[in-house]
Amino acid sequence: MLLGVPQPVAGRTFTVDVLVEAPADATPLATGSVTLQWGDGSTSTTATLSNSLVTAQHAYASAGGYTITASYSGDSNHSAASASQPAIALASAPAAVTLNMFGDSITYGEGATAPAYAYADVTAATEGWTLDNRGVPGDDSIDTCQQINAVEPLPANAYNTLLTGENDLRYAMTSTAGENEYTNAVTACAVWLATTQGVARTTAANAANTKTGTWTASTLYTSTGLNSTVAGSTLSGSITGNVLYAQMTSAMTNDYTVSISVDGGAAQSYTPPVLNYAGARVSFGPYAVRIPLTGAATAQHSVEFTCVTPGSGGCYVDWFVGNGNVNAGTPPYLWLATPYYTGQPGYPESEYTQMAQLVRGVQSQLAADGLHVYLADVANWFQGPTNPSCMYDEIHPSNCGHAILAGTFINSMNVLLANAPAVRLSTTGTHNFGYVGAGLTESYGVQITNATATAQPLAVVLSGPAQFSSQTNCPASLAASAKCEAVFTFAPTAQATGLETATWSLTGATAIWPRNGGTLLGNSEPSTALTLNTTKHNFGAVALGSESGGFGLIVANPNSAAFTGSVAISGATTQYKFQDGCTLPIPAFSQCIVTAYFAPTAAGYQTMTITVTPPAGVSVTPGNVITLLGAGQ
């Protein structure tokens, strides 16, 4: 079986997992190798099975429809086998987006068995973005801010994330400055990443600033900041907006004071707190200042910094910016993520909750100011102690934990991006028409909405065999806010032709959400066929004395005549329960469902079968014997 094949785009690497599973979960596990043929003429990939699984990566050089085939070599216990699955490369790749992910060892990928399973990689791969993973094991938010301040400039089309966590609780929150320094660090990181680049955000070292007295390059933030050891030295510049943000430096032995005056008004003085905590990797950290101003968000303001008291090391000014410098509707965006409770001994859940509230407060305030700062509320979705199987150790998530984190980021990103100006599709990806009898027709509709402010040229492109067709009521140019629909049909005419594949996409629009196009699958079957949704279902491990969730066996009759055969349950049934919803005969073009439950009373694997017996001349696809598996534990 091919597992988790995404919808790749031209020029972007994607991952394919192949699971080799023996019938009836027989032991021993399959060994040997799997060879993947990508369907584009490129060299095949061969990998050795590890616990029945191989993982491979590929990128299609050009757009089009391709079929991936996995071939299993076989071993002394199991026969060779193969499976195919269509994939599609989009007609045109979306605009290049860089995803910068900042954080500690969890962002780095600790606990994942391979980089492809780390939440940062999963998030970027799912969205089709280029990942720049800036997670550093052992870093706290103060360390991370040092990295963030050094990133100048960020790519113009960039999304950014910052996940806080265990190290913040151990170090930053226990500094002598405590919660205020933690909040300052997160605020400084967030504003730097959420504001536009270049002249919009003014670094202290910017040549456009006016200076009096003596200022030299900062020995702490050398790429952005200035330092003065002369009392009365001033640094002046301008911002746009009704909120001023500034960053100075908090150090181990702070004893300096800087005043800030806006538009020549009364100056406010600020003395960064002393930063001192065990485990510190740097001897300094960001000290963020937020000052609400009067006037509209478009107002221009002059800002002057004065070194009031240089102290022993001088005054530090790093950068300043106004909320009016943000260009609405364009990147960079930032997702702040709350820490999740790991269950680490000595660190109670209440302290994680307190940290999460501080992060939520920063995000809420900056969002209210109009900055592109959004929330990925990991604390609400992932609790380490209640997901022990998803924890690699007491701190780091395992593969499934990383998947939960990735899902949180992806969901929060999609909520925002789904509201961005674009041509929106109601559905994309793969649609399977299933087994369709010859002479019958199945349809699939995609709603198209122009959510941009201008008319968008549109055309539907369908590529595939004649059994697939498309119709659309979309004009050549879809007006702003207008809607239309594309309808795809599968109408097999040949007898038992098997799996057919087609691909579709839109052309012309400047931006398409969530992704452009998809794959259409359909199986042509004789008009006398009866179809089942599967021939095997594994309930997995179920505790003794409890009951699994229900599994529905769908028996579909796609024919123009009623089905008058039988649906028989055979084998031991003491550990399986059934709700038989199949009332015979099954009418034409209809279906019924047999629902099964596994309620083990003994440990170990338990197997039973359901047999569908058709009348003479009627076939059952893909087979008439359905195997049910479950393991009592």
Q: Which helix (H) or strand (E) holds 613?
A: strand 604-613
Around Cβ 471, how many Cβ atoms within 10 Å?
13
Residue 3 has pLDDT above 70, yes or no: no
If one compares 362 and 412, the residue with the highest pLDDT of the two is: 362
Cα 224 to chain center, whole Å? 32
Among the residue ranges 113-122, 198-207, 256-265, 483-492, the one predicted with the least confidence is 198-207
Identify the CA nearest to 357 among candidates 174, 148, 186.
186
* β strands within 352-455, DSSP E: 373-376, 423-425, 429-437, 442-450
What is the residue type of 436?
V
- The overall longest dimension of the chain from CA atoms, in Å, is 101
CATH for 423-525 is 2.60.40.10
CA dist 430 and 481 (Å) reads: 26
- For residues 620 and 557, give the distance between their C-alpha atoms in angstroms, rounded to a whole number: 10
Pairwise CA distance, residues 129 & 11, whole Å: 11
Is CATH 2.60.40.10 correct for 530-632? yes
362 vs 63, more confident:
362
Q: How far apart are the first and last CA of the chain?
A: 26
Across the range 316-329, mean pLDDT stands at 81
Q: What is the pLDDT of residues 225-254, one digit of tens each?
A: 899 999 999 999 999 889 999 999 888 777
Ranked by mean pLDDT, the top range of 306-310, 413-417, 455-459, 520-524 is 306-310
Reported as a pLDDT band with limits 50, 70 and 90, residue 87 is: low
Stretch 406-422: mean pLDDT, rounded? 79
pLDDT on residue 27: 62
d(Cα 324, Cα 240) in Å, to the nearest integer? 5
**Apex CA 206: angle with CA 205 and CA 211, to 5°?**
75
CATH of 2-89, one of 3.90.1150.10, 3.40.718.10, 3.40.50.720, 2.60.40.10: 2.60.40.10
Per-residue model confidence (pLDDT) at position 23: 64
Q: How confident is the model at residue 276 (pLDDT cuts 50, 70, 90)?
A: confident
**Residue 557 in this model has a pLDDT that exceeds 80:** no
Q: How confident is residue 93, by pLDDT bands cut at 50, 70 and 90?
A: very low
All residues at 6 or more sequence positions from 166 whose CB lies less than 8 Å from its CB, including other chains: 104, 339, 342, 344, 347, 395
Q: With helix as H, strand as E and coil as C, how does 517-531 read?
A: CEEEEEEEECCCEEE
Q: Where in the chain is the domain with CATH 3.40.50.1110?
A: 94-196+326-417
Residues 331 and 321: their CA atoms lie apart, in Å, by 16
Quick check: 441 pLDDT over 50?
yes
DSSP, collapsed to helix, strand or coil, labels residue 84 as strand
When mean pLDDT is compared across 39-53, 59-73, 92-106, 591-605, the lowest value belongs to 92-106
Give the rounded percent of residues in the chain with a pLDDT score beyond 90. 27
Q: Is residue 240 packed enough to be buried (19+ CB in 10 Å), middle (13-18) or exposed (0-12)? A: middle
pLDDT at 190 over 50: yes
149: nearest Cα among 102, 105, 107: 102
Phi, psi for residue 31 in degrees, rounded to 5: -120, -175
Rounded CA-CA distance 594/610 in Å is 9
Instruction: Compute the distance between CA of residue 326 and CA of residue 36 in angstroms, rounded to an integer.
Output: 47
CA distances from 145 to 160, 226, 351 (A): 13, 17, 22
Please give the pLDDT value at position 4.
43
DSSP annotation of 50 = B
Query: For residues 503 and 477, is the Cβ–Cβ distance under 8 A?
Result: no
Q: What is the mean pLDDT of the chain?
A: 82
Residues of the chain with CATH 2.60.120.260: 200-325
Which comes out higher in pLDDT, residue 12 or 495? 12
Q: Looking at residues 130-153, what average pLDDT do you find? A: 84
DSSP string, 471-496: EE---SEEPTT-EEEEEEEE---SSS
Taking residues 578-586, report their average pLDDT.
74
Q: Residue 135 has what pLDDT?
A: 92
Nearest to 287 by CA among 322, 324, 257, 267: 257
Q: Which CATH class is domain 200-325?
A: mainly beta
For residue 259, what pLDDT is reported? Answer: 97
**If you average pLDDT over residues 546-565, what whole number do you get?**
77
Residue 526 pLDDT > 80: no
Which amino acid is located at 600 in the chain? Answer: P
Q: Does the pLDDT value for residue 571 go beyond 50? A: yes
Mean pLDDT of 402-427: 81
pLDDT score at 307: 97
pLDDT above 60 for 90: no
- The residues, ordered by sequence, that sit 6+ positions from 501 with a Cβ below 8 Å of its Cβ are 65, 67, 86, 464, 465, 519, 520, 521
Start-end ranges of CATH 2.60.40.10 in the chain? Answer: 2-89, 423-525, 530-632
Q: For residue 484, what are the β-bridge partners?
A: 448
Q: Determine the residue type at 169.
A: L
Closest CA to 417 of 95, 5, 106, 115: 95
CATH class (in words) of the domain with range 94-196+326-417: alpha beta
The residues facing 161 across adjacent strands are 101, 335
Which residues, in sequence order, are CB contacts of 559 under 8 Å at separation 6+?
A: 437, 527, 528, 529, 530, 588, 589
